[in-house]
Structures are given as structure tokens and as C-alpha cells.
Structure 1
Amino acid sequence: MWYNNILETIGNTPLVKLNQLTKEIRGTVLAKIETTNPGNSIKDRMAIKMIADAEAAGLLKPGGTIIEGTSGNTGMGLAIAAVIKGYKCIFTTTDKQSKEKIDALRAFGAEVIVCPTNVEPEDPRSYYSVSSRLEREVPNAWKPNQYDNLSNTQAHYEQTGPEIWEQTEGKITHLVVGVGTGGTISGAGKYLKEKNPAINVWGIDSYGSVFKKYKETGVFDKNEIYPYITEGIGEDFLPKNVDFGVIDHFEKVSDKDAALMTREIARKEGIFAGNSAGAAIAGLLQMGHLLKEEDVVVVIFHDHGSRYMGKMYNEDWLRERGFLKDEKLTAERILKRRGTQEMITVDGEQSVMEAFNTMKTLHISQIPVTQQGMVVGKVTEADILHALLENPGTKSGKVIDIMTAPFPFVDRNTSINKLSALINKDNNAVLVEDTSGRLEIITQYDIINAISG
């Protein structure tokens, strides 16, 4: 048996029991692994449904251009369908999205326009507004509008819900889904509740999103809105695809818990899933006390971990945000091992010989150069030697005239791998700012001493 094209492989994704992450809670927890779709995400389902419905309605015509605001996954589904069906694609996305997602869209020939995250949806710079403007300007264009296009919900009512019901033999008691556009949870949840009204549908939300408060109070509170890192869930507006009547409860999950749990899924279950899966499992564990032994919980794993290699699966990225603290050496731990030392500097107006005498007296080979209390450069023994060889009179000149670029500045959570990469023949030290704003220097010697100690 074969398929006529890649679109026919969408759906019928496996349901896999989780064993390690959920062993402390009661019930059976099953993950719906949507990464087996051709675009490696659940969004393939609604992308092809939206296109099919638009074609049937005459909204998308041959040779047309699909224009959409997307965090990456919907764009991937649309782009794959466009390749098969002969459409062009222009996508707008936010600068919050991972580089891997953007590169993947471009791999399928799509044009991608990156817009700022921290603006209101109505702002002309937002990825919603830019996509709407392009739809008006580009001839023969169609905008799916995944947030308000109810074909999104219908796709999951027709496909995802029935699959889950059949795969669990009707035993499912809880559906747990990260909520972004709302199509997955609303469509699958509606189908499952029609089969058994007692099924609980739990939505996972992010701090900085409006969903949870709106569900509980009916109030759209703009004070709930602030920037967050978690990708694929939460919104700062109310998409039409979010059916609050289907969703029984929203659980908020922090950026840190979502990011770290994303990694744990790979390490403890061998499943390479994306950020929203981490949020969903973290949220489920927060609600674990509500479960009983006989419960059967299905959690949607929306997309693939390969789209988060520069973020949730990157230890330096996690450390820079204070999410990861482990036994690996960081700038902070190196400084603690060394102990506090006063950082020696030389003023840029001092003479070259004064700088050299300071270095000789203190047995150091390099020294940061300051001007009005700010680090503006560095001078090394090699810099002084080269300057004197070119012009012996330089010894009475100013340090600022022979200094080179300052040592790199790093965060206290920077890993030893990154520190080592920054220290080379041009930079034999880095500068670190402590919590009080005081600068400290880490040299090659400090790193060697920390490793050997």
C-alpha cells in the first residue's frame, strides 16, 4: 500500500503510555504523539481542513497566495499543503519564536516576515496586523486566520476526537491540552463530551495569557497580559476557536516549569516533544491530586523537539534565564570557588608606563581600561610591547591610545563551555557583573583552577 501524496499521511497518530514522569500520580496517562504527522505537529490536521474548506467556498483559487500569522507549526502544515496544491505562502511570525521554526518554514519555499512580540494585536507592527495588511495588498490572497476560522475546531472534531475515543476504547476520563488557537481542545473536547459528558477537559495556559481569568470570571483583563516565553499556548486576545463552554478548567504553568519539563519528557520517556508538551505535563502534575486510579488521561503532545534546539534544549539559553541550575560550572560558581577579589583597572588617561608598572607589581598580564568609571577597553603586555616596538615614545603616551576592545561581558549563569569559547588569543579574560552591579574578572587561570579544584 502507498499514499498518493504526503497529505494523506496526516492523522492516525499513536497514543503512548507515560511511565516515569507520571508515576507519582494516580491513573493512566497517555500521550497523543502528534509529531508523526508530516509537518511534525498537530497543526497539519487543521491546516489541510482550512484549505479544503476555503477551496470549496471559492475563497482560495488556483495559483493563490496563502498569508497567515503563525508561530511556525500551522505555517508548516499550510506550507506542505501549498507545495502539493501549487500555492504560494507568506507567513508573519513573532520574534519570540525559535529560529528552527522560521528556518523550517523557509525550507518549504515560504516567505517569512518576523514581527515584534511585545505590541498590541491592533498595533500595525503586530504579526496579526501585518498578515491582514498583506492579505489586502497581495493579489489573489487568502488568509486562513487560524484563530477565528472554525474549520480549525472542526478538523479536531472530525479527526482528533474520534481517534482518541477509539484508541482508548471509550475509557478516556480527562483530556489535557495546551490552549493557543483553541481548535484542538474545543474540537476534540466537544466530540468526546458528546460521547461521554462526564469527561473532564483541562486547558493549559501560561502566565501572561488571558484565558484562565476569562474562563473563571468572564472578564477580559488586560492587566493579565505580559510577555512570556512559553511557545504555542496562551494568548492576549480571545480567539473564536476557544470554546470556553467545552473547557472545564484552565491551569497556568510558569515558563520555567514548562521549559524544564519539556527536557524531562525526552530524558525520562524518550519522547522528543516541544514546549507545549512540557507545559501540559507540568500542568497535569499540578492537578494530579484530582485524579483517581481508574482515570485515563490523554495529553496532547503538539509538536517536535527539533524546533526548540536553540531554546528549551539549549543549556546556555536556560541558564541565561535562570531556569537551570545544576552541577555544571558557571561564571558564578567559578567566582565563588575563587573568592572575592578586587578588580584592578587602569584609567585611560594614565600613561602606558604607569599601566605597565601596575601590571608588573601585581603580576598580571592584562588589565581593563576605564574612563569615567566605565570599562572602555583593555590593555595587555602584548599590546604594550607592540606599541613600544613601533614607537619607543609611546611609553609616555596615554593608555587609551593603545588599548584594544574590552573583555567580553557575560552573565553569572554563563556556562563554562561558553566562557571557554569566549577566551582566546584576543581575549584571555571575561568580565562578570555581580548582583550589586560590581564588576569581577574571570581569567584563564581562574577557569583552570576551578576545573582542577
Structure 2
Amino acid sequence: MNVFESVLDAVGATPLIRLRRVTAGLTAQVWVKVEFANPGGSVKDRAALAMVRAAEELGELQPGGTIVEGSSGNTGVGLAMVAAQCGYTAVVVVPNTIAHEKVALLQAYGARVVATEGKLPREHPEHVNNLARRIAEETDGGWYANQYDNPANPRIHELTTGPEIWEQTGGRVTHLVAGIGTGGTISGTGRFLKRHGVTVVGTDPEASVYAGGDGSPYFVESVGHYLHPDTVEDTWPTAYDRAIVDRFERIPDGESLRVARRLAAEEGLLVGGSAGTAVAGALRVAAGLGPEHVVVAVLPDSGRNYLSKYFDDRWMTGMGFLDATEGPFVRDVVPQRGLAVVPATDTVAAVLARHGSGPVAVVVPRTSDAPTRSAPEVIGSVDPAELRALVAADPERAADSVTRHAGSAPAAVGHGENAAAATARIDGGKGPVLLLIDGRAVALVPRAVLEQRHETTG
């Protein structure tokens, strides 16, 4: 039994567990490094403690000082835990898109939580990192942890996580699979293991720019790299060493979240969405390997942080990630596919030149030519017939920005939702309805079509 002088001494030395059921049919072994076993509940405890200790040694963080960080939750929790033990104050700036459980955790550790808009260009003063840096500068005794560029982040994984995996597998590990957020975990762990001939595979949300996605919003937290279309210069974390990653597996959100749910139901491992991304990638990697190979995936955090999202059937079905327990489903009554879109920068005249009839989605401008759009980037809708009548009454309206007439974002229903439940949920609203599959809009359906066909089917 381990006995520690403080909670900080319990950081690291996490278990390695072999997967047995989700790996059925595979000959290669797949093991998982369960980082939720850290006292703060995530892999970020390692980096948090290392960054604080380095700052103390450098004199950047003085006794009684204030630790400030921008975080999607886990690093903030780790820093808040360290702050509580060491007598510091913690201020954590979070995007308003993170799970409620993470905010509650931060507050439980005594941190002051500052929420800001999660989808802002990198240069915006209220961007998570810019706001955190400014708070640190304006706070007496403030220290900005800066996990994205802090060398102590990857270094601690090179010193601990990598060696632990090597020792735990008896030097038999052949493949490391991990996601990339700040890049610290995969860079440090991978740097150590590559010295022993291990192949390093990065797993990335399909939309993330790290592995070549368009940077549009995705729904797996704490991994990947979102790119706001108005960002002038897309800077990547210096904690991420691109040379370490041998190849990528791009994982759609739906695959990540469904694998995470399988891990709970089939392996007894309640983990977060980014762990689902890592295991989904590990299963792909293992599928092409023989029995002599050992694949290790890093599982960053616990599913307890996401009970209101990934493990909530209503949220999952509403976003199109899961089918309801019984039908008829929305896709049964509204089978149409195809999404007509116009960028928010278009004029009314441009819309009328390209679209004759039917509802059109107004989307955040992005260079992607994907046939679907991430749900958060559908910011409104227009009816060409109404626009045509508007211009007929006042020709000068043709020069208007389409956003002036787009209204608010449409209500959304998941393709696997029970049709009656979906109709009831959006009852009382107006305008067309987005049809979602795995969090992406695939169609914009007139509300009356959904309601009438549901009544006919019912």
C-alpha cells in the first residue's frame, strides 16, 4: 500500500490495464494508461505540478501568489488542486462550451472560474489564453501557467509517463497512441518511447487542424485544435513537437463518443471523450498488427466529468450521436439529406442568384467544401421566397448582408431521436429545423414537414 505525505506525492505512477472485450477479434494486445487515477482526475495533474514546481524554482511564483491559467478544465483542476495544497490562489479562465461538471470541480477546489466565449479568434482579447494572460499581468503576485508553451509540460511526461509505460510493459510496448491538446503528453511520452523504437500515433478529432481537418467546432473536449475562421495567424503550442508523431488517426466525434460509452459498458472504464478518441485510434492501429505487438493508449480523464454530455442519452440523441431506444426515429419521417448553405458574408442578391426555393442555412464562413456543417457554425437560416418578396418591395435590400435577415440559429434534432420526442422538444418555435448526424447538420427541414410527417406516422 502506498502512503504519501501529501496529495501531490500521489501524482503519477498510474495503472496500465489491458482491454479485453472491445478488442474482440484482434490479435495484438491493447493496454490503456488510466490517467484518471491521478488525484485530480486527469493526466494534467502531472503537468500542473511540474509547471508549478518549475515556476517556484525560477522565482516566478512566490509564496501566497496567484496561479492563472486558461483551460478546458483538466489543467485548471490540476492547478487548483496544487494551489489548494500549497497555499496559492487559483484563477481559471474556461471556454463557455465545457461540461458543467468541470466548472463544479474547479469551484470545489476553491478556484475562481472566469468563463469566456469559446469560439473566438486567437487574436481576440477575450480569447481564453489572452484573457488568462491579462488577468495574471494585472494581479499582484500573479503567474500565468501557459500550459501550451511551458516546457515543463512535455518534460514531465518524458521523465515519468514514458518510463512508466516502458517499465509496466516490460519493454514490450510497440505503439503509443495518444491525443493532442497542448501536445505535452504525446511529445514527452513519445520522445522517451521513440528512443526504444516505439511507433507514436496521434489521434485527432476529424475536424481538428493538427491532422489536417478544417478546424471547425467538434464535440470531444480537451483534445485537438479548433481554428476560428477569423484567426489571422494559427499558432500551435510549442509544447507540441510535431516530429515525435509518426502518423495520425483522424477520428470522427461519433466514433470517439460511442467508443467511450463502450468502454464503460464493456470494460468498466468510465472515461471522457478524448479517451474514446485514443482508444478508437488504438483499435484501428491494433487491427493491422499481429500478436507480437503491444499497443498502449493514454486515457486522459474520467467520464465523471461528462455525465451531462457523453453519458446522457438525451444529449447524445439530440446531437445525432445515438439512436433512441424506440422509433419511429426522425430519419424515418424526414429522410431527406442535402444542406443548402450560404456564408454569412453573402448579400441577399448573392443568395437569390444561387438558390431558388427551400430553406437555406447561413453558416460561419469557412473554406471547407464539406457537404455538412458543424452544428455550432449554422448561425441562422433564410427563405429565398421571402427574400425575393423583400427585394421586390425594396430593390435596395438586395445589397443587404444576408445575416440581417437570417434570424437566430435554427432548432436542431438528431436523426436518431424519437420523432415524437423531438417534435415535442422543439414545440412552440418557428422556422426550419436542422437535422444532425454526429453533431453535423446534414439537412435543413421545414418545421411543418417534421410535424406533419410525425403526425401521419404516429
Tell me the TM-score normalised to structure 1 length. Answer: 0.73
1:271 aligns to what? 269
Is the partner of 2:248 in helix, strand or coil? strand
Deviation at 1:135, TM superposition (A): 1.4
Q: What amino acid is aligned across from residue 264 of structure 1 in structure 2?
A: R
Match of 1:233 in 2: 223
Q: By how many angstroms is 1:234 displaced?
A: 0.9
| 1:136 partner letter | E
1:313/1:418 CA distance change after superposition, 3 Å? farther
**Which of the two has higher C-alpha Rg?**
1
- Does the 8 Å CA contact 1:90/1:110 hold for their aligned counterparts? yes
Superposed structure 1 runs of 4+ greater than 4 Å apart: 333-336, 412-418, 420-423, 427-435, 440-443
Assess, with a 3 A threshold, how the Cα gap between structure 1 residues 134 and 410 changes in structure 2: closer, same or farther.
Answer: closer
Q: Equivalent residue of 2:242, what SS? A: coil
Cα pair distance change 1:438/1:184, threshold 3 Å: closer
**Aligned counterpart in structure 1 of residue 323 of structure 2, from 319, 322, 325:** 325
In 2, Cα distance between equivalents of 1:26 and 1:268? 18
Q: Look up the equivalent residue of 1:107 and give its one-letter code.
A: A
Instruction: Within 5 Å, give how 1:251-330 maps onto structure 2.
Output: 251-329=249-327
Is there any run of 5+ residues in structure 2 with no aligned partner, and where?
228-234, 335-385, 387-410, 434-443
3-state secondary structure, aligned to 2:48:
helix
Q: Report the more deviating stretch, 202-211 or 266-275.
A: 202-211
Q: Which residue of 1 aligns with 2:448?
A: 439
Provide the C-alpha distance between the structure 2 equivalents of 1:150 and 1:428, rounded to a whole number of angstroms. Answer: 52
AA matched with 1:270: G
Aligned to 1:49: 50
Cα deviation per residue 1:62-114 (whole Å; 9 max; x = unaligned)? 11111101111111110011001011111111122111111111111111112
**Alpha-carbon distance change, 234 to 436 in structure 1, aligned in 2, over 3 angstroms:** closer
**8 A contact 2:324–2:416 mirrored in 1:** no
In structure 1, the residue matched to 2:83 is: 82
Does the CA-based 8 Å contact 2:40-2:77 persist in structure 1?
Answer: yes
Q: Residue 166 in 1 paired to residue 175 in 2?
A: no
Per the alignment, residue 14 of structure 1 pairs with 15
Distance 1:417 1:138 in 2: 52
2:367 match: none
Identity %: 35
Task: Name the counterpart of 1:183.
Answer: 184
Check 1:170–1:109 CA distance in 2 against 1; reply closer, same or farther (3 A cut): same
**Pairwise mapping of residues 345-364 of structure 1 onto structure 2 (< 5 A)?**
none
Q: Which amino acid aligns with 1:229?
A: F
Distance 1:47 1:330, change over 3 A: farther
Q: CA deviation at 1:256?
A: 1.3
Q: Match for 1:245: what amino acid?
A: A
d(CA) in 2 for partners of 1:420, 1:244: 44
Q: Shift of the alpha carbon at 1:120?
A: 1.5
Structure 2 residue matching 1:92: 3-state secondary structure: strand
Alpha-carbon contact 2:71-2:93 (below 8 Å) kept: yes
Q: What is the aligned partner in structure 1 of residue 36 from structure 2?
A: 35
Q: Does 1:411 align with 2:420?
A: no
3-state DSSP of counterpart to 1:201: strand
Q: Distance in 1 between matches of 2:216 and 2:206?
A: 8
User: Distance in 1 between the 2:417 and 2:284 partners?
Assistant: 30
Partner of 2:64: 63
CA distance in 2, matches of 1:289, 1:203: 16
**TM-score (norm: length of structure 2):** 0.73
CA contact (8 A) 1:316 1:414 kept: no
Matched residue SS, 2:94: strand
Note if contact 1:18-1:269 (Cα within 8 Å) is conserved in structure 2: yes
Does the 8 Å CA contact 1:331/1:411 hold for their aligned counterparts?
no
Task: Give the deviation of 1:422 after TM superposition.
Answer: 6.6
Whether the aligned pair in 2 keeps the contact of 1:32 and 1:299 (CA below 8 Å) is yes
